[in-house]
C-alpha cells in the first residue's frame, strides 16, 4: 500500500510543481496523514466488528489552559473522533500540585478502558512540577507519546517493535518512506537532540541502518555537516536557519520546525515557517517537506496509530489471559 501512496504523491505533487527539474518534489504530510488516518479508521471498524462495541481509547491529560495546548488538544480529539477512537480530555486546574498530577496518572494507568495516555506539555501550573517525573509515571504500555525512559531506552537499543515511537520522528520516517529512497547505507544528518524530536529521530535512522550524525547548538560548522547529508531532518526551532546552499543536491529534506515570524501581509501579522529556508532549499533538495502541511499533520496521525496499536496489544493481552 505504501508504494502506491508514494506513486500517488509523486504524480500528484510533481504535477502541481510543474516540470522544472530544479525544483524538489514536495512530500505532502497532509496527503500522507490522510491516508494513514483512513487506514486506521478501517482497522478500528474491523476491531469493533470483531470485538463487539470495542473502541481504542485515548486520554489527554492537561494541566492549566494554555491557548496553544488547547488548540493542539482539539486537533487530536478531532482526529481521534474521525477515526473512531474514543478520546477524552481531562483538565486539571493551574493550582494542581505535582502529587495531584501523579495521582491522576496513576489512576488512569490502572484503568483498563484507557489504552493511550498523553500528558499535554508544557504543564501550565502555578506549582513546581518535574516534567520528567510526570512523563515517566505514565505506564510504558499506555505511553503513546513514547516519551517515557522505558520506551526511549527500547528505541535507543533498536527494539522498534516493542516500544511506542515518539510521534514526530515516526511521522518523519513515514515521509522519508514516501520518497522511495532507501535509508540503509545513507548518510543522515539530524539537527537537534531533544527527547521529543532529535534524539528519537537519530535512533530511528540508525536502526534503519543509516549512518547518522546528530548536530546541536554546539556543533561547529553546521553547513559542512549538512552538506554531507543524503537525508536531512531538522528540528532546531530556528526560523529558516538551514540555507539551500548548505544542502547536498538531491537530498531528502524533512523540516520539523514550526516558527512564527512577522508578516504584515497576513491578517494575523505573522506566518509560520520551518527551520529550513524553503525557497532556496527547494532548488537543491530532491524531496522536501513544506511548512505548514509537512511534518505537523503526521505527528497527529502517528499518535492515532500508536493508540490503535496500544488497543490491539490490549486485546491480545486480554485474550491470552482469559
H-assigned helices in the chain: 2-17, 29-50, 67-83, 98-110, 131-137, 149-157, 167-178, 198-207, 222-226, 278-281, 295-320
Residue 86 or 275: the one with the smaller Cβ distance to ligand NDP is: 275
119, 166 Cβ separation under 8 angstroms: no
User: 15-32 burial string, b = 16+ CB within 10 Å, else e?
Assistant: eeeeeeeeebbbbbbebb
Length of the chain: 322
Single out the segment in contact with ligand NDP by CB under 6 A; choices: 47-55, 61-69, 205-213, 237-245: 237-245
Q: How many residues bind ligand NDP (CB under 6 A)?
A: 27
In the chain the first and final C-alpha atoms are separated, in Å, by 34
Q: Is 277 in the site for ligand NDP (CB under 6 A)?
A: no
- Identify the residue among 188, 236, 247, 252 touching ligand NDP (CB under 6 A): 236
Q: Is 30 in the site for ligand NDP (CB under 6 A)?
A: no
Collapsing DSSP to helix, strand or coil, 95 comes out as: coil
Active site residues: 76
Q: Is 88 in the site for ligand NDP (CB under 6 A)?
A: no
Q: Which residue is nearest to ligand NDP (CB)?
A: 194
Collapsing DSSP to helix, strand or coil, 143 comes out as: coil
Binding track, positions 138-177, relative to ligand NDP; x by CB under 6 A = ------------------------------x---------
Q: What's the min distance (Å) between Cβ of 217 and ligand NDP? A: 3
**Interacting residues with ligand NDP (CB under 6 A):** 168, 191-194, 196-198, 215-219, 222, 235-238, 241, 256-259, 275, 295-296, 299
Amino acid at each position: 500500500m505504501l508504494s502506491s501512496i508514494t506513486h500517488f504523491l509523486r504524480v500528484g505533487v510533481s504535477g502541481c510543481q510543474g516540470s522544472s527539474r530544479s525544483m524538489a518534489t514536495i512530500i505532502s504530510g497532509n496527503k500522507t496523514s490522510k491516508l494513514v488516518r483512513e487506514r486506521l479508521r478501517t482497522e478500528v471498524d474491523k476491531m469493533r466488528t470483531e470485538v463487539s462495541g470495542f473502541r481504542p481509547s485515548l486520554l489527554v491529560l492537561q494541566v492549566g489552559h494554555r491557548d496553544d495546548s488547547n488548540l493542539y488538544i482539539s486537533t487530536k480529539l478531532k482526529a481521534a473522533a474521525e477515526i473512531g477512537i474514543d478520546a477524552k480530555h481531562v483538565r486539571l486546574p493551574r493550582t494542581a500540585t505535582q502529587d495531584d498530577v501523579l495521582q491522576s496518572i496513576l489512576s488512569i494507568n490502572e484503568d483498563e478502558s484507557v489504552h493511550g495516555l498523553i500528558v499535554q506539555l508544557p504543564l501550565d501550573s502555578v506549582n513546581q512540577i518535574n516534567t520528567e517525573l510526570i512523563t515517566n509515571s505514565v505506564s510504558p504500555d499506555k505511553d503513546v507519546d513514547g516519551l517515557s525512559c522505558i520506551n526511549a531506552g527500547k528505541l535507543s537499543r533498536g527494539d522498534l517493535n516493542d516500544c511506542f515511537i515518539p510521534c514526530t520522528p515516526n511521522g518523519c520516517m513515514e515521509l522519508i518512506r514516501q520518497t522511495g529512497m532507501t535509508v540503509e547505507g545513507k548518510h543522515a544528518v539530524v539537527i537537534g537532540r531533544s527527547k521529543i524530536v532529535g534524539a528519537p529521530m537519530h535512533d530511528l535512522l540508525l536502526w534503519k541502518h543509516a549512518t547518522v550524525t546528530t548536530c546541536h547548538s554546539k556543533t561547529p560548522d553546521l553547513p559542512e555537516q549538512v552538506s554531507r547529508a543524503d537525508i536531512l531532518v531538522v528540528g532546531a526551532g530556528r526560523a529558516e536557519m538551514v540555507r539551500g546552499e548548505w544542502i547536498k543536491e538531491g537530498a531528502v529534506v524533512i523540516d520539523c520546525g514550526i516558527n512564527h515570524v512577522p508578516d504584515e501581509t497576513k491578517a494575523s501579522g505573522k506566518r509560520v515557517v520551518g527551520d529550513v529556508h524553503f525557497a532556496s532549499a527547494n532548488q537543491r533538495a530532491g524531496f522536501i517537506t513544506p511548512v505548514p502541511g509537512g511534518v505537523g499533520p503526521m505527528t497527529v496521525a502517528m499518535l492515532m496509530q500508536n493508540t490503535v496499536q496500544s488497543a490491539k496489544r490490549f486485546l491480545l493481552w486480554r485474550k491470552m489471559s482469559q
